[in-house]
Amino acid sequence: MLGAIELRTAYVWCEADIHSSITLELWKSDEQNKKVNVNGNYTDRFEHRIFKFYLTALEPGTNYEYQLVLNGNQKPENAHGAFKTQELWNYRNAVPDFSFLTGSCSYMNESKYDRPGNSFGGDSSIFEAMAKEKAAFMLWLGDNWYTREADYSSDWGLWYRASRDRSMPVIQNFLKSMSHYAIWDDHDYGPNNSGKEYVFKKETKKIFDTFWCNPPTNADSEGNYTQFNFNDLDFFLMDDRTFRSSDKLKDSINGAPNPDKHMWGPTQLDWLKNQLANSEAPFKIIANGSPVLNGYNKHDCLIHFPVEFNELIQFIIDERIRGVLFLTGDRHHSEIVGKKLSDSYTLYDIVNSSLTARISKVSDYEKTNPELIMDSIVEQNNYTRISVSGKTKARKLKFEFIDAKGNKLKEWEISETQLKFGKK
């Protein structure tokens, strides 16, 4: 798998047999006779050996190839890959157009451990369509694998599930085809609706850090929230599980927001507010496993954690933070919700789900939500292609919900000029 690819660095990830040794050969695509050997760091846990190769001293805007070498001399055909480093455009050229993919809820069937009855996982060939996309990266929005009852009661089971689902043949070409970033939600964190009470939360954090190549997390916090930028966009990757109170706590007590009910926790929310204040990006994309804005959503949603919801919305208004968008998952269907801020622009939550897990239809009750963009609803397995284009100060995002065959189902566009405060 390709991890983050920057201007002069890149990550390559792989898992091998516990007794294996792996090195990496790297070269510029037009200089095959000038190969560099790179050693990786590896993590051993139970029967798993997982390598990360940190490639440095690269040149911006340059095509590279690599070959993984197994046990000193074996060069498996499926262990060859290629990538291009980011362009050094700032202060030099016009900001580049690009696209990226996103989605959530990837369930790989394993019948002897799945629930009885109809398969919960759908058509995994969607990853073959995604592998053909000419996108810069994939942003996984949680439930990236699904732990079962046989998994989440032991640390061994958690490692097994991540490794087993990552190893499925249908996903291999996609993992190599572009960079991958990730957040988590409950099912790749632990049991359904789990939060800070989960006894294996430290272990599952180790698994997340081992199986993904995200930018570093805040050293002062136990969570996995972090930030990255790509060209002129900023992405804020939220952790909606490590600090999360039980969903069953009351939203309010005696008519006031429950001060003890948190999704992100005070430290993470303070981090997000400062990140947003510092960002000059035309679009500030907040990625979260649970949806954020849908007040008609009776399930996982930040709006049911009103202390944090109100604090974030008020901060955006008070500090006049422009360009905020939410990318979320979880719901097993895709939709867009728009909430008009007082004396401000409309905030949008683009829900992206599900990649392969069983579809959940939008309820009749939710369809009465006046903030739901009805033409955005997708009730079949899909992923989202997001295209970024336009000149500086007039950048646009085009969202396309795509089915397992690569066909466009729905489309929606937003301009940065629509996500600004008016003049006082």
Note the pLDDT tens digit of each residue in 261-315. Answer: 999 999 999 999 999 999 999 999 999 999 999 999 998 999 999 999 999 999 9
pLDDT tens, the chain, 424 aa long: 999 999 999 999 999 999 999 999 999 999 999 999 999 999 999 999 999 999 999 999 999 999 999 999 999 989 999 999 999 999 999 999 999 999 999 999 999 999 888 899 988 999 999 999 999 999 999 999 999 999 999 999 999 999 999 999 999 999 999 999 999 999 999 999 999 999 999 999 999 999 999 998 876 678 999 999 999 999 999 999 999 999 999 999 999 999 999 999 999 999 999 999 999 999 999 999 999 999 999 989 999 999 999 999 999 999 999 999 999 999 999 999 999 988 889 999 999 999 999 999 999 999 999 999 999 999 999 999 999 999 999 999 999 999 999 999 999 999 999 999 987 6
All domains of the chain, ordered by start, with CATH?
A: 2-84 (2.60.40.380), 98-418 (3.60.21.70)
pLDDT of residue 227: 97
pLDDT of residue 271: 96
pLDDT of residue 25: 98
Note the pLDDT tens digit of each residue in 401-421. Answer: 999 999 999 999 999 999 999
pLDDT of residue 220: 66
3-state SS, one letter per residue, for the chain? CEEEECCCCEEEEEEEECCCCEEEEEEECCCCCCCEEEECEEEEECCEEEEEEEECCCCCCCEEEEEEEECCCECCHHHEEEEECCCCCCCCCCCCCEEEEEECCCCCCCCCCCCCCCCCECCCCHHHHHHCCCCCEEEEECCCCCCCCCCCCCHHHHHHHHHHHHCCHHHHHHHHHCEEEEECCHHHHCCCCCCCCCCCHHHHHHHHHHHCCCCCCCCCCCCCCEEEEECCEEEEECCCCCCCCCCCCCCEECCEECCCCCCCCHHHHHHHHHHHHHCCCCCEEEEECCCCCCCCCCCCCHHHCHHHHHHHHHHHHHCCCCCEEEEECCCCCEEEEEEECCCCCEEEEEECCCCCECCCCCCCCHHHCCCECHHHCECCCCEEEEEEECCCCCCEEEEEEECCCCCEEEEEEEEHHHCCCCCC
pLDDT of residue 344: 85
pLDDT of residue 422: 85
